[in-house]
Each structure stands twice: as structure tokens, then as C-alpha cells.
Amino acid sequence: MSTQATGDFAKKRRASLIAAIFLMATSAIGPGFITQTATFTATMGAAFAFGILASILIDFVVQINVWRIVTLTGMRASDIANATLPGSGYLLAVLVIFGGLVFNIGNIAGSGLGLDAMLGLPPKWGGALSAVIAIGIFLSRRAGIAVDRIMIVLGLLMIGLTLFVAIVSQPPLGEALRQTVWPDHINFATITTIVGGTVGGYITYAGAHRLLDKGTTGAEHIQEVSKAALHGIMVTGVMRYILFLAILGVVASGVIIDTSGQGANPAAQAFQAAAGEFGLRIFGLILWAAGITSVIGAAYTSISFITVFKPNITERGRNQATVIFIALSLLIYLLLGTPPAALLVFAGGFNGLILPIGLTLFMYVGWRRSDLMGGYHYSRWLLLIGAVTCVLTWYMAIKSIGPIFAFLNVA
């Protein structure tokens, strides 16, 4: 291979890793997480910092293991599950696709809330417009390149704008840091919901499946894939904490944030309180960017599971299925009466209930199925922390089923 060809290959591989990082990051920091953060910070104050830390730690364990095992096997999550426990891949696919649909309805709702805050459009009109834009991206001839570039640009925009609001709101940093490691109280339903909103359901597999589609597989890529996963987790972790601090500054100043009712948009209230009308417009842009990137990420990743039912589907067929998925999400959103904010919180919780199922299967592959990984002997310390995380996510899911479904009863 010539020097130029080698350089081009390395450049493409680096671009695929960056695209996977931002697909994971923007999926993990969608309108669900933004709305959940505002809702829980308003009700729990600085104690919610522990939930942020828990979500980052669990995110680290889940993503590092999933990215590595998908890379080593060269298989999609549903195929890995079927090879481990026959039939389980179909169940996982159904759960992820359904969870992705629930989340995507929330993502469209979030993008609608964003355009409402930014431009004053009614949320349903804004959601419909955003869904149409996402459909247009997947109908384009260069959909793959478009997805990668949009994720990177909007991801960087979200981080920069949120950092500005966090500085303006002047949060109590000392109290936030203390309660990050020593909270006044712990709410498992809250942690399960925030974990589900950042790494549950389809989000678990977003970056890993993007790497697979780009051809980054095999033991020879394991170190750079692990490094990319760590960078993705760092990006999402920093963004989560900055967002929390931005809203905490408002809550700590004594501003009362309304988290109930049909029109509740708690994050918008926080940003407006921090930076006035300009803050509200900034929030609208952030939420819209989070919404449309998450619509793209949820649809792309959910439909990537369709290959377990139709292995020979072409890329064009997958793009068409993705368009149908987004259109169905939009239709359900337009027909639903559930408040957008409540739907976003529920979506995170539901995907948190799915998380331990796939993680358990992946940990079994790392422990017992080296044959699926080309004889690679998987890291024992990653297996250990993965097993602990499995137990923790199962416990939280069982404890949280009732409270999570109660979010749908918000009037």
C-alpha cells in the first residue's frame, strides 16, 4: 500500500472514530437528558449531582465494554445476543427498536420544545418540521457523510452554548462537588431514568454500530476503539455536568421552576432565568440541536437492529426503513396527549429498564465466548466492573419500574 493510500486510510479511520464519538455523545445528551436534568435539579437541588456522577460511571463501563466487544466480534448487538443465547437477539432487537421509538417520539417533542423557545413556533409544528429535516437527511444520496458532519457541528455548538449559560448562572460549585460524592439523599428511580436517558436502550449501541458500519473491526483496532470510547465518555460527562451546573445556579438563586403541567418546559425556564430573553433563545437552539441529532441517532441505531430480521437489507433499504421509523415517531407524537416534558422523562426511564438485558449478554460473551472474538482473551478487570454494573442496573430497574411508568400520569 502506498504512503498516500495509507494516509487516506488512516484519515478515514480517524474520521469514523470521531463520527462514532459524536453519535454516541449527541445521542446521550438529547432533549430527554436535558429535560430530565432540569426536572430533577429543580426537585433535588445539588443532591442530583450524585445522579450525574452515577450516570457517567455506568456510561463508562457500558460503552467501553460494548464498543470493544462489537469491534472484536465484528457483529451487531442482536447477532451477538443470538450467538450467545439463541432467540435473545430477536428479543433485544424488539426491545431496542420499541425503546428507540418511545425515545424518538420524545426527541421529536424535544426538538419542538426547542423551536418553541427559539422562534415561538408551537411545539407540534416545531417537532414536525424537525422530523421532516431528519427525513430529508436520510433521503439524501450522501446520508452517511451528512449524518457524521451534522453530529459533530451540532455537538460542538451544544457544548459551547451550555458552557456560556453555566458561567452566567454562577452555580454553588463547592456544594455541587460535595454532593457529587456525598449526596444528602439517593433516589434510585431518578438514577435509573438519567442512566436510561444517557446510555440505555439504543444509546448503548449507537457509537459501536457506527464503527461497525465504517468497517472498524478486529483485535488490531481494539486500542484505538477503546481510546475513542473514553473520549466519547469524557465529552458526554463534561457536557452533562456543565448542563447540571447551569440549571443548579438558577435553582440555588431561589428561582422556582415549574415541572408540572402540559406546558412545562423546565430547562427553558432555567436558561431564561439565567440569561434573560437571550438565554431562552440559546436554550431553544441547544434543545433543538439536541433534539434533531437524537432523532437521527435514535432512528439510525434502532433501524441498525433490523438486520437481525432481514440480514441482506441494503444501505438504501435501511435508509428507507429509517425514514419510515421517523415518520411513525412523528405521527404518534402528533396524536399523543402526554406532555412533551413528561414523555421525555419517561423515555429515559424505559430505556434504563432495557439496559441490563443487553449488558448481561455482552458480559457473558466477554467471559465465556472468546470464540466469537477471534480467540481474544477479554480484559478481566473490564469483566469485573461490567458484572458489578450489571447487578446494579438490574437492581435499579426492578426498584424503579413503578415510579418510571408513573411519569406518564403527569397531567
Could you give the number of structural domains in the chain? 1
Q: Residue 256: helix, strand or coil by DSSP? A: coil
- Is position 9 within any domain? no
- Is position 113 within any domain? yes
Q: What is the pLDDT of residues 56-74, one digit of tens each?
A: 888 889 889 998 999 999 9
411 confidence band (pLDDT: 50, 70, 90): very low
pTM: 0.81
Q: What is the pLDDT of residues 132-144, one digit of tens each?
A: 999 988 887 676 6
Q: How far apart are CA 81 and CA 64, in angstroms?
A: 18
339 confidence band (pLDDT: 50, 70, 90): low
Taking CA atoms, 26 is separated from 90, 234, 256, 341, 388, in Å, by 26, 13, 29, 19, 27
- Is position 3 within any domain? no
**Domain of 80?**
20-407
Phi, psi of 391 (to 5 degrees): -60, -45
Q: What is the pLDDT of residues 257-285, one digit of tens each?
A: 766 655 567 777 888 888 888 888 888 88
Taking CA atoms, 252 is separated from 41, 248, 257, 311, 378, in Å, by 10, 6, 11, 53, 46
| Confidence at residue 381, expressed as pLDDT on a 0 to 100 scale | 93
- Is position 56 within any domain? yes
pLDDT top residue among 98 and 261? 98
- Is position 260 within any domain? yes
- Is position 4 within any domain? no
Average pLDDT value over all residues in the chain = 82
Q: Output the domain CATH number for residue 133.
A: 1.20.1740.10
- Is position 182 within any domain? yes
Residue 382 has pLDDT above 90, yes or no: yes
Counting residues of the chain whose pLDDT is more than 70, the rounded percentage is 85
Q: What is the pLDDT of residues 202-237, one digit of tens each?
A: 777 877 888 787 777 888 888 888 888 888 888 888
Grid coordinates belonging to 355: 439496559
